[in-house]
Protein backbone atom coordinates (compact mmCIF):
# COMPACT_ATOMS: atom_id res chain seq x y z
CA UNK A 1 0.00 0.00 0.00
CA UNK A 2 1.02 3.58 -0.50
CA UNK A 3 0.89 5.85 2.52
CA UNK A 4 -2.31 7.43 1.24
CA UNK A 5 -3.93 4.03 0.74
CA UNK A 6 -2.82 2.99 4.23
CA UNK A 7 -4.43 6.03 5.85
CA UNK A 8 -7.65 5.77 3.85
CA UNK A 9 -7.93 2.05 4.57
CA UNK A 10 -7.68 2.54 8.31
CA UNK A 11 -10.12 5.48 8.15
CA UNK A 12 -12.56 3.03 6.55
CA UNK A 13 -11.94 0.84 9.63
CA UNK A 14 -10.29 -1.89 7.65
CA UNK A 15 -6.89 -3.20 8.65
CA UNK A 16 -4.08 -1.89 6.42
CA UNK A 17 -0.80 -3.62 5.60
CA UNK A 18 0.96 -1.75 8.42
CA UNK A 19 0.06 0.65 11.19
CA UNK A 20 -0.18 4.15 9.66
CA UNK A 21 2.06 6.77 11.28
CA UNK A 22 1.54 10.51 11.62
CA UNK A 23 4.35 12.92 12.52
CA UNK A 24 3.81 16.63 11.83
CA UNK A 25 0.79 15.99 9.63
CA UNK A 26 -0.92 18.87 11.41
CA UNK A 27 -0.27 21.32 14.25
CA UNK A 28 -0.84 18.87 17.11
CA UNK A 29 1.24 15.93 15.89
CA UNK A 30 4.55 17.70 15.52
CA UNK A 31 7.82 18.19 17.39
CA UNK A 32 9.22 21.16 19.26
CA UNK A 33 11.83 23.06 17.31
CA UNK A 34 14.06 22.82 20.40
CA UNK A 35 13.84 19.01 20.44
CA UNK A 36 14.18 18.58 16.69
CA UNK A 37 17.94 19.20 16.18
CA UNK A 38 18.70 16.83 19.07
CA UNK A 39 16.60 14.18 17.34
CA UNK A 40 18.45 14.65 14.06
CA UNK A 41 21.79 14.31 15.84
CA UNK A 42 20.67 11.15 17.66
CA UNK A 43 19.60 9.66 14.32
CA UNK A 44 23.03 10.42 12.87
CA UNK A 45 21.56 12.86 10.35
CA UNK A 46 23.41 16.04 9.32
CA UNK A 47 22.36 19.38 10.85
CA UNK A 48 19.87 21.41 8.84
CA UNK A 49 18.33 24.85 9.31
CA UNK A 50 15.36 24.77 11.67
CA UNK A 51 12.16 26.24 10.27
CA UNK A 52 9.43 27.04 12.81
CA UNK A 53 6.17 26.60 10.94
CA UNK A 54 3.93 27.08 14.00
CA UNK A 55 5.05 30.25 15.78
CA UNK A 56 2.70 29.80 18.75
CA UNK A 57 3.72 26.26 19.66
CA UNK A 58 7.16 26.57 17.99
CA UNK A 59 6.98 23.34 16.01
CA UNK A 60 9.67 22.44 13.51
CA UNK A 61 9.15 21.54 9.88
CA UNK A 62 10.22 17.88 9.82
CA UNK A 63 12.61 17.15 6.96
CA UNK A 64 12.12 14.38 4.43
CA UNK A 65 14.98 12.25 5.77
CA UNK A 66 13.32 12.05 9.19
CA UNK A 67 9.89 11.33 7.68
CA UNK A 68 11.41 8.47 5.70
CA UNK A 69 13.37 7.14 8.69
CA UNK A 70 10.17 6.77 10.72
CA UNK A 71 7.93 5.66 7.84
CA UNK A 72 5.56 8.60 8.16
CA UNK A 73 2.36 8.38 6.10
CA UNK A 74 1.07 11.95 6.37
CA UNK A 75 1.96 15.45 5.26
CA UNK A 76 0.36 18.80 5.95
CA UNK A 77 -0.96 20.93 3.09
CA UNK A 78 1.13 23.85 4.34
CA UNK A 79 4.33 22.09 3.26
CA UNK A 80 3.51 23.07 -0.34
CA UNK A 81 4.05 26.74 0.42
CA UNK A 82 6.70 29.22 1.57
CA UNK A 83 9.57 27.40 -0.09
CA UNK A 84 11.44 30.63 -0.80
CA UNK A 85 13.72 32.15 1.83
CA UNK A 86 11.94 35.49 1.55
CA UNK A 87 9.17 34.09 3.76
CA UNK A 88 11.56 33.35 6.65
CA UNK A 89 13.51 35.48 9.11
CA UNK A 90 16.19 34.62 11.66
CA UNK A 91 14.99 34.13 15.23
CA UNK A 92 16.55 32.44 18.28
CA UNK A 93 14.69 29.57 19.93
CA UNK A 94 14.22 29.81 23.71
CA UNK A 95 17.40 27.78 24.25
CA UNK A 96 19.36 30.10 21.95
CA UNK A 97 19.45 27.80 18.92
CA UNK A 98 19.26 29.78 15.64
CA UNK A 99 16.05 29.15 13.70
CA UNK A 100 13.82 30.60 11.00
CA UNK A 101 10.40 32.07 11.76
CA UNK A 102 7.70 33.14 9.25
CA UNK A 103 8.26 36.80 8.48
CA UNK A 104 4.62 37.70 9.12
CA UNK A 105 4.76 36.35 12.70
CA UNK A 106 8.22 37.44 13.79
CA UNK A 107 8.19 38.02 17.57
CA UNK A 108 9.62 41.15 19.17
CA UNK A 109 11.68 41.34 22.34
CA UNK A 110 9.90 43.16 25.17
CA UNK A 111 12.11 43.20 28.24
CA UNK A 112 12.48 39.63 29.50
CA UNK A 113 9.81 38.18 27.21
CA UNK A 114 8.85 37.89 23.55
CA UNK A 115 5.63 39.33 22.15
CA UNK A 116 3.69 38.99 18.91
CA UNK A 117 1.69 41.96 17.66
CA UNK A 118 -1.39 42.16 15.48
CA UNK A 119 -1.21 44.38 12.37
CA UNK A 120 -2.87 47.06 14.52
CA UNK A 121 0.16 47.05 16.83
CA UNK A 122 -1.70 45.43 19.70
CA UNK A 123 0.18 42.75 21.62
CA UNK A 124 -1.84 39.54 21.24
CA UNK A 125 0.61 36.91 22.50
CA UNK A 126 3.43 36.72 25.02
CA UNK A 127 6.15 34.17 25.76
CA UNK A 128 7.75 34.72 29.18
CA UNK A 129 11.38 33.91 29.87
CA UNK A 130 11.80 30.15 30.32
CA UNK A 131 8.68 29.25 28.33
CA UNK A 132 8.58 27.36 25.03
CA UNK A 133 5.28 28.65 23.62
CA UNK A 134 3.18 31.79 23.36
CA UNK A 135 0.02 32.53 25.35
CA UNK A 136 -2.98 34.57 24.26
CA UNK A 137 -3.22 37.89 26.12
CA UNK A 138 -6.04 39.74 24.34
CA UNK A 139 -9.70 38.71 23.91
CA UNK A 140 -11.75 41.09 21.71
CA UNK A 141 -15.10 40.62 23.49
CA UNK A 142 -13.76 40.14 27.01
CA UNK A 143 -14.64 43.59 28.32
CA UNK A 144 -18.21 43.72 27.04
CA UNK A 145 -17.69 45.30 23.61
CA UNK A 146 -19.41 42.77 21.37
CA UNK A 147 -20.02 43.33 17.67
CA UNK A 148 -20.91 40.05 15.96
CA UNK A 149 -20.61 41.64 12.54
CA UNK A 150 -16.85 42.05 13.16
CA UNK A 151 -15.98 38.45 14.06
CA UNK A 152 -13.98 37.77 10.91
CA UNK A 153 -12.58 41.30 10.80
CA UNK A 154 -11.14 40.68 14.28
CA UNK A 155 -9.34 37.46 13.34
CA UNK A 156 -5.94 39.24 13.31
CA UNK A 157 -6.57 40.59 16.82
CA UNK A 158 -6.34 37.34 18.78
CA UNK A 159 -3.61 34.79 18.81
CA UNK A 160 -5.04 31.55 17.42
CA UNK A 161 -6.50 33.07 14.27
CA UNK A 162 -4.09 35.99 14.03
CA UNK A 163 -0.81 34.04 13.95
CA UNK A 164 -0.86 31.88 10.84
CA UNK A 165 1.31 28.96 9.81
CA UNK A 166 2.29 28.57 6.15
CA UNK A 167 0.83 29.32 3.70
CA UNK A 168 -0.36 32.32 5.71
CA UNK A 169 -0.24 35.53 3.69
CA UNK A 170 2.17 34.00 1.16
CA UNK A 171 -0.84 33.32 -1.04
CA UNK A 172 -3.29 35.99 -2.07
CA UNK A 173 -5.85 34.08 -4.13
CA UNK A 174 -7.71 30.80 -4.06
CA UNK A 175 -6.10 29.96 -7.38
CA UNK A 176 -2.71 30.08 -5.68
CA UNK A 177 -4.01 27.79 -2.92
CA UNK A 178 -5.31 25.33 -5.50
CA UNK A 179 -2.06 25.41 -7.49
CA UNK A 180 0.06 24.71 -4.40
CA UNK A 181 -2.22 21.90 -3.29
CA UNK A 182 -2.08 20.35 -6.76
CA UNK A 183 1.73 20.49 -6.75
CA UNK A 184 1.88 18.75 -3.40
CA UNK A 185 -0.57 16.07 -4.51
CA UNK A 186 1.52 15.34 -7.58
CA UNK A 187 4.73 15.13 -5.55
CA UNK A 188 3.77 12.74 -2.75
CA UNK A 189 1.97 9.48 -2.06
CA UNK A 190 1.43 10.50 1.57
CA UNK A 191 -2.04 11.35 2.81
CA UNK A 192 -2.50 15.13 2.75
CA UNK A 193 -4.10 16.84 5.73
CA UNK A 194 -5.73 20.22 5.26
CA UNK A 195 -6.04 22.31 8.42
CA UNK A 196 -9.30 24.22 8.52
CA UNK A 197 -10.12 24.87 12.18
CA UNK A 198 -13.83 25.53 12.32
CA UNK A 199 -13.63 25.94 16.11
CA UNK A 200 -16.81 26.64 18.04
CA UNK A 201 -16.34 26.33 21.81
CA UNK A 202 -12.79 27.55 21.36
CA UNK A 203 -13.88 30.53 19.26
CA UNK A 204 -15.97 31.66 22.20
CA UNK A 205 -12.94 31.26 24.40
CA UNK A 206 -10.74 33.14 21.91
CA UNK A 207 -13.15 36.10 21.87
CA UNK A 208 -14.59 36.24 25.40
CA UNK A 209 -11.85 34.37 27.36
CA UNK A 210 -12.42 30.85 28.61
CA UNK A 211 -14.05 31.64 31.94
CA UNK A 212 -16.38 34.25 30.53
CA UNK A 213 -17.55 32.16 27.60
CA UNK A 214 -18.29 29.15 29.79
CA UNK A 215 -20.35 31.44 32.04
CA UNK A 216 -22.08 32.91 28.99
CA UNK A 217 -23.17 29.43 27.86
CA UNK A 218 -24.75 28.84 31.26
CA UNK A 219 -26.15 32.30 32.04
CA UNK A 220 -27.27 33.69 28.68
CA UNK A 221 -27.84 30.87 26.19
CA UNK A 222 -29.68 33.09 23.71
CA UNK A 223 -26.65 35.38 23.48
CA UNK A 224 -24.33 32.37 23.12
CA UNK A 225 -26.48 31.00 20.29
CA UNK A 226 -26.30 34.33 18.46
CA UNK A 227 -22.52 34.34 18.72
CA UNK A 228 -22.22 30.73 17.54
CA UNK A 229 -24.62 31.34 14.65
CA UNK A 230 -22.42 34.22 13.52
CA UNK A 231 -19.28 32.08 13.85
CA UNK A 232 -20.75 29.21 11.85
CA UNK A 233 -21.80 31.60 9.10
CA UNK A 234 -18.15 32.68 8.79
CA UNK A 235 -16.88 29.10 8.96
CA UNK A 236 -19.26 27.84 6.27
CA UNK A 237 -18.33 30.69 3.96
CA UNK A 238 -14.63 29.97 4.43
CA UNK A 239 -15.19 26.23 4.11
CA UNK A 240 -16.67 26.77 0.66
CA UNK A 241 -13.59 28.73 -0.38
CA UNK A 242 -11.04 26.37 1.20
CA UNK A 243 -12.47 23.13 -0.16
CA UNK A 244 -13.41 24.75 -3.46
CA UNK A 245 -9.68 25.33 -3.98
CA UNK A 246 -7.88 22.57 -2.03
CA UNK A 247 -10.61 19.94 -1.72
CA UNK A 248 -9.63 17.85 -4.78
CA UNK A 249 -6.08 17.48 -3.45
CA UNK A 250 -6.45 16.70 0.26
CA UNK A 251 -7.54 13.47 1.97
CA UNK A 252 -8.44 14.66 5.48
CA UNK A 253 -9.83 17.99 6.64
CA UNK A 254 -8.87 18.83 10.21
CA UNK A 255 -11.28 20.68 12.48
CA UNK A 256 -10.37 21.77 16.00
CA UNK A 257 -12.32 22.23 19.23
CA UNK A 258 -10.78 21.28 22.58
CA UNK A 259 -13.88 20.05 24.37
CA UNK A 260 -12.21 18.23 27.25
CA UNK A 261 -10.29 18.88 30.44
CA UNK A 262 -8.20 16.34 32.35
CA UNK A 263 -11.05 14.68 34.21
CA UNK A 264 -14.21 15.51 32.26
CA UNK A 265 -15.50 17.48 29.28
CA UNK A 266 -15.57 21.25 29.68
CA UNK A 267 -19.28 21.10 28.97
CA UNK A 268 -21.97 18.52 29.64
CA UNK A 269 -23.32 16.23 26.91
CA UNK A 270 -26.60 18.12 27.19
CA UNK A 271 -24.84 21.42 26.56
CA UNK A 272 -22.85 19.88 23.69
CA UNK A 273 -26.09 18.70 22.06
CA UNK A 274 -27.73 22.10 22.45
CA UNK A 275 -24.93 24.43 21.37
CA UNK A 276 -22.38 22.52 19.33
CA UNK A 277 -23.59 19.24 17.86
CA UNK A 278 -25.94 20.71 15.21
CA UNK A 279 -23.30 23.23 14.18
CA UNK A 280 -20.55 20.60 13.97
CA UNK A 281 -22.89 18.41 11.96
CA UNK A 282 -23.67 21.23 9.53
CA UNK A 283 -19.99 21.94 8.88
CA UNK A 284 -18.91 18.29 8.63
CA UNK A 285 -21.80 17.45 6.31
CA UNK A 286 -20.99 20.40 4.09
CA UNK A 287 -17.31 19.42 3.95
CA UNK A 288 -18.25 16.01 2.55
CA UNK A 289 -20.60 17.58 0.05
CA UNK A 290 -17.84 19.86 -1.22
CA UNK A 291 -15.01 17.31 -1.46
CA UNK A 292 -14.24 13.63 -1.04
CA UNK A 293 -12.58 14.18 2.33
CA UNK A 294 -12.58 12.44 5.68
CA UNK A 295 -13.37 14.63 8.69
CA UNK A 296 -11.11 14.67 11.73
CA UNK A 297 -11.61 16.63 14.94
CA UNK A 298 -8.74 17.56 17.21
CA UNK A 299 -10.12 17.62 20.74
CA UNK A 300 -7.92 17.15 23.77
CA UNK A 301 -9.02 15.89 27.14
CA UNK A 302 -11.55 13.56 28.73
CA UNK A 303 -14.18 13.58 25.98
CA UNK A 304 -15.50 10.01 26.22
CA UNK A 305 -19.01 11.20 27.32
CA UNK A 306 -19.23 13.26 24.11
CA UNK A 307 -18.08 10.57 21.67
CA UNK A 308 -21.55 9.14 20.91
CA UNK A 309 -22.77 12.59 19.83
CA UNK A 310 -19.58 13.39 17.93
CA UNK A 311 -19.94 10.13 16.00
CA UNK A 312 -23.61 10.81 15.36
CA UNK A 313 -22.70 14.28 14.04
CA UNK A 314 -20.60 12.62 11.35
CA UNK A 315 -17.04 12.48 12.63
CA UNK A 316 -14.62 10.05 10.94
CA UNK A 317 -11.62 10.39 13.26
CA UNK A 318 -10.89 11.78 16.71
CA UNK A 319 -7.53 13.09 17.83
CA UNK A 320 -5.31 13.09 19.91
CA UNK A 321 -6.96 10.41 22.13
CA UNK A 322 -5.55 11.67 25.42
CA UNK A 323 -5.19 8.32 27.16
CA UNK A 324 -4.02 9.81 30.48
CA UNK A 325 -7.42 11.48 31.02
CA UNK A 326 -10.32 9.98 32.94
CA UNK A 327 -12.30 7.50 30.86
CA UNK A 328 -9.89 7.62 27.92
CA UNK A 329 -8.21 4.23 28.36
CA UNK A 330 -7.50 2.72 24.98
CA UNK A 331 -9.03 -0.67 25.71
CA UNK A 332 -12.40 0.76 26.65
CA UNK A 333 -12.45 3.20 23.74
CA UNK A 334 -11.60 0.52 21.19
CA UNK A 335 -14.17 -1.87 22.62
CA UNK A 336 -17.01 0.63 22.75
CA UNK A 337 -16.35 2.87 19.73
CA UNK A 338 -13.81 1.12 17.51
CA UNK A 339 -16.40 0.06 14.93
CA UNK A 340 -17.65 3.62 14.52
CA UNK A 341 -14.67 5.97 14.58
CA UNK A 342 -10.93 6.04 13.88
CA UNK A 343 -8.59 6.82 16.75
CA UNK A 344 -5.94 9.15 15.38
CA UNK A 345 -3.56 9.15 18.33
CA UNK A 346 -3.33 7.53 21.72
CA UNK A 347 -0.15 5.77 20.67
CA UNK A 348 2.09 7.13 23.42
CA UNK A 349 1.33 9.18 26.53
CA UNK A 350 3.08 12.55 26.34
CA UNK A 351 2.34 13.70 29.89
CA UNK A 352 4.47 11.11 31.69
CA UNK A 353 5.74 8.19 29.61
CA UNK A 354 7.41 9.91 26.66
CA UNK A 355 9.27 12.64 28.60
CA UNK A 356 10.04 10.67 31.77
CA UNK A 357 10.24 6.98 30.87
CA UNK A 358 13.25 5.00 29.77
CA UNK A 359 13.50 3.94 26.12
CA UNK A 360 12.51 0.39 27.16
CA UNK A 361 9.48 1.72 29.03
CA UNK A 362 8.48 3.80 26.01
CA UNK A 363 8.80 0.79 23.70
CA UNK A 364 6.73 -1.44 25.96
CA UNK A 365 4.04 1.23 26.35
CA UNK A 366 3.82 1.85 22.59
CA UNK A 367 3.61 -1.84 21.75
CA UNK A 368 0.76 -2.26 24.21
CA UNK A 369 -1.15 0.70 22.75
CA UNK A 370 -0.69 -0.63 19.22
CA UNK A 371 -1.83 -4.11 20.28
CA UNK A 372 -5.05 -2.60 21.61
CA UNK A 373 -5.86 0.00 18.97
CA UNK A 374 -4.58 -1.40 15.66
CA UNK A 375 -6.57 -4.63 15.11
CA UNK A 376 -9.28 -4.23 12.50
CA UNK A 377 -8.07 -0.81 11.42
CA UNK A 378 -9.43 2.46 12.70
CA UNK A 379 -6.09 3.58 14.16
CA UNK A 380 -3.38 6.01 13.10
CA UNK A 381 -0.33 6.03 15.33
CA UNK A 382 0.48 9.39 16.82
CA UNK A 383 1.78 10.32 20.24
CA UNK A 384 -0.74 12.26 22.32
CA UNK A 385 -0.12 15.79 21.05
CA UNK A 386 3.19 17.41 20.14
CA UNK A 387 6.62 16.14 21.21
CA UNK A 388 7.77 18.81 23.64
CA UNK A 389 11.18 20.39 24.12
CA UNK A 390 12.19 18.26 27.13
CA UNK A 391 11.70 14.84 25.50
CA UNK A 392 14.95 12.85 25.17
CA UNK A 393 15.69 11.96 21.55
CA UNK A 394 16.29 8.32 22.53
CA UNK A 395 12.67 8.13 23.67
CA UNK A 396 11.39 9.59 20.40
CA UNK A 397 13.35 7.02 18.41
CA UNK A 398 12.19 4.20 20.69
CA UNK A 399 8.58 5.32 20.24
CA UNK A 400 8.55 5.28 16.44
CA UNK A 401 10.69 2.18 16.10
CA UNK A 402 8.26 0.28 18.34
CA UNK A 403 5.20 0.99 16.18
CA UNK A 404 5.93 -1.57 13.48
CA UNK A 405 8.37 -3.77 15.41
Beta-carbon count within 10 A of 102 CB? 24
Res 277: pLDDT: 98
Residue 352 structural domain: 3-51+62-87+164-403
Measured distance CA(355)–CA(394) in Å, rounded = 10
pLDDT at 237 (0 to 100) = 98
State the chain's mean pLDDT as an integer: 97
Assess whether pLDDT exceeds 90 at residue 145: no
Position 105 in a domain? no
SS3 letters across 192-214: EEEEEECCCHHHHHHHHCHHHHH
Strands 123-127 and 135-136: antiparallel
Q: With contact defined as beta carbons under 8 Å apart, do 184 and 207 qualify?
A: no
Taking the CB of residue 315, how many other CB atoms lie within 10 A of it? 22
Task: Give yes or no for residue 405 having a pLDDT over 90.
Answer: no
Does residue 102 belong to any structural domain of this protein?
Answer: no
* Mean pLDDT score, 70-78: 98
Q: Report yes or no on 97 lying in a domain.
A: no
- 111 domain-assigned: no
Q: At what angle do helices 201-208 and 210-219 cross, to 10 degrees?
A: 120
Share of the chain above pLDDT 70, in %: 100
Dump pLDDT digits (tens) for 169-203.
Answer: 999 999 999 999 999 999 999 999 999 999 999 99
CA distance 157 to 138: 8
Task: Note the maximum CA span of the chain.
Answer: 58
Residues 6+ apart with CB under 8 A from 109: none
Residue 143's pLDDT is 86
Is residue 136, in this structure, part of any structural domain at all? no
Answer yes or no: is pLDDT of 144 > 80. Answer: no
pLDDT at position 25, please? 97
According to the model, what pLDDT value does residue 53 have? Answer: 95
Residues whose CB falls within 8 Å of the CB of residue 210, separated by 6 or more in sequence, listed in order: none
What are the distances in angstroms from CA 270 to CA 154, 267, 276, 313, 337? 30, 8, 10, 14, 20
Q: How many domains does the chain have?
A: 1
Q: Compute the chain's Rg from CA coordinates.
A: 20
Report the C-alpha gap between 164 and 236 in whole angstroms. Answer: 19
Domain harbouring 396, CATH code = 3.20.20.210
pLDDT tens-place string over residues 356-371: 999 999 999 999 999 9
Choice among 106-115, 272-281, 309-318 with the minimum mean pLDDT: 106-115
Cis peptide before 133 (omega within 30 of 0): no
Which region among 140-144, 257-261, 264-268, 307-311 has the lowest average model confidence (pLDDT)?
A: 140-144
Amino acid sequence: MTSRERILTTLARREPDAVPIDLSGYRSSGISAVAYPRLRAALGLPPRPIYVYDPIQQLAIVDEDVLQRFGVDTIELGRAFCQEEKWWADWPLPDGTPAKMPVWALPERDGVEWVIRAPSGRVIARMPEGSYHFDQVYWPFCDGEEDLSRIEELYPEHMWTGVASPPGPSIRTLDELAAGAARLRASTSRAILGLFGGNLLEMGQFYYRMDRFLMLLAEDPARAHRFLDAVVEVHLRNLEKFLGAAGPYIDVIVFGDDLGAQNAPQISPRMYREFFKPRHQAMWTRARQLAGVKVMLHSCGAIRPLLPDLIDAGLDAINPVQISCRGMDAEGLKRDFGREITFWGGGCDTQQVLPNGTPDEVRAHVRRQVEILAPGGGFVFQQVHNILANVPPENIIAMYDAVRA
